[in-house]
Structures are given as structure tokens and as C-alpha cells.
Amino acid sequence: MPKISKKEYFLFLFLIILIFSISIFVRTSNLKPYSNITNIDASYHVLLTIDALKENSIKDHLFLPIVSLGPVEDKYISWGATVSDKKGNYFYTSFPQLGFSIPYLFFSLLGLNTTIINLMYFNLIIHFICSIFVAILCFLLISKITNNKKLCLYGVIIAVTVYIFNLESLFSHGVIYWSQSLFQVFWISQLIVFNYLLKLKNGNNVYMYLLFFFLSFCAPATEWTGYLSNFIFLICLFFLGIKSKNNLTLLSIIISSTLLAVASFLIPFWIAIGPKALINTLESRFFARNIANSIGWRYLFEGYWESFGPYLILTGLIVLFCLLNRNIRPDFISNFKKLKIWFFLFLFPIFENVIMKQHAIIYSFDRLKLVLLIILIILVGVASAKSIYIKKMSILIVLSAVVTLVQFYNSHRVWEEKDLAASESLIEYINSKYHNAVFYNNGDVRGYANLLLHRGVYEKIRDRKELADDAVQVYKDKNIVWLLGKSLKNGLFSWGNAIIYDRNQGEIIIVGIIPKNVIEGAIPIDNNVVNLMTDNNVSSLEVNNKILPIYRIAPQGIIHLDSKLARKNENSIFKISISFKDLNITTADFTDSNWYLGVHRNNSTILLENNMETNQVLEKKPTILIDRQGKEYHILNISINGPWIQLSLKEKDIQKLIFPNSFTVK
């Protein structure tokens, strides 16, 4: 192995820092507010888990990936593919816990706020550590096939450049963090220590053995690929021979550390959620994302192409050139044979992408592990070509890095979400006034919504019937906030309206936002808001303490204001208040053999939807019903039957109450 002077060490450390600093500038300059980024849901998920770990006691979370926040109000709220314990805490079982608990410790020790930017800083630190480890590992490997110091150092710079400036690293070691990002640290350092321990003859370096045990535990305790990488270490040891004391020691270390990783995953989950729930959820998540999934294989290869395209071309050209050139071919094949164990060590963990095919296709960070194999092939090519073709290779490598940067700045993975700014200002307004309310959402809820509200949120409540099923029965005395909007990609959500049931003030409040660049005074609103406004003859709204008339409510979900007033109040929050006592309700739009538009065919009974408004109106057991003409009907009985409420009336002539006629009660 060539000897490196201190001056050369510091020079190369400076070069690595310089290259990495450029990558930081590239990534931060491309990070814009209110952007959507492919797989950003992973980062929000981790941030939510960090908050949940902070707010719950260790006795409750056991350092598992918990997604339920601390307050009692945030318990028993389901969240994605999670499983709950007896206390209503929901846990994510699809990945081991170290990928979550280590960033939690980082944030807690430094007292950082749980923001995307701070998580990105954590990920950049990981990337820098990995880059240093890649430099060390690649120097050790290239030194096995050449004693040319300049060539070795040149190979190290190439390796670091490729590791830093590939599209996947720029994203998955940047703004997108998941367990795979952290796994790279343990895996690469594990390879370095393994290389060192293979050379031991006496087998008496206890500290290095302990370090290898620690890394062999952390790799699978962070990400499932760690089990495959540990397995391939075992295969390599069998291939090298297990008669030596050193290899037997390594064998026992890998087996024991892997078993400990299994135990550290299973036992806490077993305690938290029980064996049956654990087995069922592990089985369901595995079969949801595994090789048997019907998604086509070409998407996996297209994913590799997207992540590493320029370097895959470069690798192919180097291999082709080395095999076709008679002068280089013997050295290339010989060098390949010298490093065959390392090729095997780098290649085999990639089969995790085959086993969990769908996950590798959807989540690009799962493809990050391929970069080491690409680097190794390039290194063998560089060492085989020697100094004759180094300049040409340098041009190709620089060109590949430049193409990658162009890809990064023009990547389809990042795009602006025009509605997010207005949506977040609406949520900020709601949260400032109703933070202690119970929150519901009309779509899926992921980490983004939880972090924005810092609350648990019930998901997929599509209409007022569904809202009543839970809100009326469980939360009779709580204010209710029903968020209405549309799902965006990667777990983000854009809210345009909310219906707030303020039980303290005795009113329903509709809030929304007048969008930017409003055309002809037309403001889009949710259909649930349309129905509520139409039922109660709403004709105006309040903006900045001023009343603006509504000229028309379109059934397609649009309210029309004066165009000049609408433009003047762009990005402003509007408010509509309806007192509980003034609420109009209607009979149900329901017809069958017994009912005609909500009125019973044979007796004096009317049918109402069991929704929030109806429950509020009937909460105080009214005895009189008043139709639009002022006629009074006496209520004899009120009964609830699932999604319906039946009112028995004294009067027999009730045909004027058929849908869509509205009425009030007292």
C-alpha cells in the first residue's frame, strides 16, 4: 500500500471538503419554499416521529417509530400503515427503529426544531461522513491492485466525486431522509473495518472486533438491507475459509450481532403491540411491496437510470474500453479477480431492491446502495488503464458530474405547488384559534399535516354523515374542525376551506381563502361548503372585518363575488358564521318503497341525514318544527338509526316538508 504523507492527507481532505461544499451550495440553492419534492413524505414522516418520541415517555414508545403525539387528544387516531398499542399510540412497523431514533437523538441533543431544513442538515452530515468513508474504503481497495500512489489518490477523488455528485445522493443525502441514508454510514464503515480485520493474523484487536460487532448490529437495526449485507459477509468468510481463528471470530460476531438486531426489533414491538398484531402487520407490509407485486420490472431499471444515468453510461464505456483494448484487458481482468470478493460484497445487497421491488421503484433512496458498485467498477478501470488514458477518463467523469448537476437543477422531482402558501396561511389561522379542537380531514393524513397543525388528525372524512359518526358520538363537548382540500403528491395537502363547529360560541364557522389571481370574482369552494351555504341561504361573507355580498353559489363548487372586491382581497381569509339556533335543515334526499324524498308514505314521519348540523339543531330536544311558510308541526319523537334520524310528527299533512324544502326548530 502506498504511504501517504500528512501534507497529502490534508490536501485531499481539503479537496473533499471543497467538493462537498459545492454540493451543499447546489442543494440549498435549489430548495425553494412551497415546493413539492418526490419522496418528501419520508422526511415529514421522520420529523413527525421525532416529535412523537419527544412528547411520549420512553416507557410508552420504547424508542420505536411512534407517530402519535403526546397529548391525550392525539391518541387513538389511526395513521397510514401503523398498528396501535392499548394506549392508543400508533407505531410504524415497516422499518427498524435506528433510522428514526438516531435523528431523534440528534435533534434532542442540539435542541433543534423539527423542520425540513434541520433534517437536511442532519442528512448532509451523514453524506459528508459517508464521503470520507468512501475515500478511505476506495484507497484501501485500489491499493490492492496498484502501488502507483498518484493513481490511488486520483481514484479516491474520482470515487468521492461520483459519490457526492450523483442525482440520488444529491436528493437522498439532502432534503430527503430515510433509513437508507443512515444505513450507508454503517455499511461503508463496516466494509472498512472488515477489510482491516481480514488482515489480522493474531486476532487480538479487541477494539476493532467490538467496533465490527457494533456496525454489524447497527446496519440491520437501521435498514433491512443490513441483513443481506451481513449474510454476504458470512458467505465471503466461508469462501475465504473458516479454519483460521480470526475468520471464526468474525463469523461469530456477524451471527451474534444479527441475532441481536432481530431481537432489538421484535422484543420492543412484541411488548408494545403484541405478537399477533406484529406478525400480521409485518406480513401485510412485506407482501404489499415485494417481488410478487404486479408493477413492471422496467420501472426498476428506469429508476436506476434516473438515479445514476450518466455514471451508468460512464461505467459501461469504461468496461467496454478495457475489454476491447488488448493492452489493458489482461490487467482489467486480473484486477477484477483480485477484488472479486468486494464486487460480491457490493453487489449482493442490491438484491434487496429485487426482493422489495415496489419500494425501490417508488422510493428512490432505496436505490442509493448501487453507487458503491458503480464506483468500484470505475476504480478498476482507472487502475487498469493507468496513466495513458487518465486525461480522457477525467473528462468523461467531469462531464458526467456536470450532466448530473444539469439534471438536478431541471429535475422533475421538484416542482412548485402554487396553492401551498395560501393553504398554509389558512391552517395557521385555524390553528391559532382552534388548536385544542378535534381535527378531521377529507383526505389522507401524513406527516406534513400533523407537523403543520402539531396535532393528530382523523383522515378520509368525506361528507357530513361520516363526520357525525365520530364527532357527535365521541366528542360531544369539543370544538370540531373539518379540513377540506385536495391531496397532492408525496403526502402533501392543499386546503381551501374548513368547516368549524364552535360549540363554545354556538355557531358554525366556514373559513376559506380568496386565491391569488382570482378570475371574475370566482372562488372555488368544497361541495360540502356549497351544501351548507345553500341549505342556510348564505348571501355574504366577511373579509378583514368587512361584509362582501355573494352574488351566486354555483353547484359546481364556486361562489361569485364582485370581481374588483375579490381582487382587492386576494390571499385574504374569508369567514362565514351560522348560529346553531338559525340553522336550516332539510329532509333527506331519499326515496324507496317506504319513503318519498324523506317523507314516509304511510305515516307522519320525516327522515333526516344524521350529520353534524342536524345533531346540533336537535341537541336540545326541540318540540316544534317550522317550515318556510311559518307553519308549525309538533315533534312527538326523535330516534337515531345509523346514518338517519327520524322525526315523528303529530300533524298528518306533511308533504310540504319533502326534500329539498328546509325548516327550523324550536
Q: Domain segments of the chain: what residues?
A: 6-30+93-409, 420-582, 585-665
Q: What pLDDT is recorded for position 518?
A: 84
For range 537-545, the mean pLDDT: 91
The amino acid occupying position 240 is: L
Closest C-alpha to 346, from 187, 199, 197, 459: 187
pLDDT digits (tens, 9 = 90+) for 549-560: 999 998 888 999
Distance CA 366, CA 349 (A): 11
Strand segments (E) across 336-491: 414-416, 438-441, 457-458, 480-487
Q: What is the DSSP string of 103-158?
A: HHHHHHHHT----HHHHHHHHHHHHHHHHHHHHHHHHHHHTTT---HHHHHHHHHH
Give mean pLDDT, residues 195-219: 89
pLDDT tops 80 at residue 294: no
The vertex-581 CA angle with 578 and 583, nearest 5°, equals: 55
Assess whether pLDDT exceeds 80 at residue 286: no
Residue 329: exposure state from Cβ atoms within 10 A (0-12, 13-18, ≥19): middle
The mean-pLDDT minimum among 72-76, 97-101, 473-477, 634-638 falls in 473-477
pLDDT at 289: 63
Beta-bridge partner residues of 610: none
In this prediction, residues 234-246 reach a mean pLDDT of 86
Do strands 457-458 and 438-441 pair parallel, antiparallel, or not at all (unpaired)?
parallel
Q: Are the beta carbons of 96 and 220 closer than 8 angstroms? A: yes
- DSSP class of residue 5 equals -
Beta pairing, strands 480-487 & 438-441:
parallel
Q: What is the mean pLDDT of residues 529-539?
A: 89
513 forms beta bridges with 573
Task: Name the burial class of residue 625, with classes exposed (0-12), middle (13-18) and buried (19+) by CB atoms within 10 angstroms of its CB.
Answer: buried
Residue 442: Cβ-neighbour burial (10 angstroms; 0-12, 13-18, 19+): buried
pLDDT at site 640: 87
**3-state secondary structure labels for all residues of 243-278:** CCHHHHHHHHHHHHHHHHHHHHHHHHHHHHHCHHHH
Calculate the CA 485 to chain-centre distance.
19
DSSP letter (8 states) at residue 598:
T
With beta carbons less than 8 A apart as the criterion, state whether 197 and 246 touch: yes
Choose from 70-84, 165-179, 571-585 the range with maximum mean pLDDT: 165-179
Res. 293: pLDDT tops 80: no
CB-CB contact of 608 with 644 (8 Å):
yes
Considering the segment(s) 585-665 as one domain, its CATH architecture is Beta Barrel (2.40)
Per DSSP, helices labelled H in 143-178 are: 149-164, 167-172
pLDDT (mean) for 509-522: 90
CA distance 12 to 157: 8
pLDDT value at position 610?
Answer: 87
DSSP bridge partners of 562? none
Neighbour-count burial for 221-235, b at 16+ CB within 10 Å, e otherwise: bbbbbbbbbbebbee
Coil vs helix vs strand at 84? strand
Percent of the chain with pLDDT over 90: 66
Q: Whole-number mean pLDDT of the chain?
A: 91
Is the model's pLDDT at 68 over the cut of 70?
yes
333 in the Ramachandran plot: left (φ > 0), alpha (ψ -120 to 50) or beta?
alpha
At residue 472 the predicted structure's pLDDT band, cuts being 50, 70 and 90, is low
What gap in Å lies between CA 484 and CA 53, rounded to an integer? 29
Residue 572 in this model has a pLDDT that exceeds 90 = yes
- pLDDT of the residue at 34: 87
Q: What is the spatial distance between Cα 202 and Cα 446, in angstroms, rounded to a whole number?
A: 53
Confidence of residue 205 (pLDDT cuts 50, 70, 90): confident
> What is the secondary structure of 459-504 as a DSSP string?
----SHHHHHHHHHHH-SSS-EEEEEEEE-GGG-EEEEEEEEEETT
- Grid coordinates of 73: 387528544
3-state secondary structure of 509: strand
The whole-number pLDDT of residue 288 equals: 65
pTM: 0.91
Q: Look at phi and psi of residue 557 and say left if phi exceeds 0, alpha if psi is from -120 to 50, else beta.
A: left
Cα–Cα distance, 184 to 178 (Å, whole number): 11
Strands 82-84 and 90-92: antiparallel
The torsion angles phi and psi of 621, rounded to 5 degrees, stand at 55, 65
Tell me how far the alpha carbon of residue 165 is from its chain's centroid.
Answer: 24
Note the pLDDT of residue 135.
96
What is the end-to-end Cα distance of the chain in Å, rounded? 93
Phi, psi angles (nearest 5°) of residue 375: -60, -45
Residue 356, pLDDT score: 86
Give the count of beta carbons closer than 10 Å to the beta carbon of residue 392.
Answer: 11
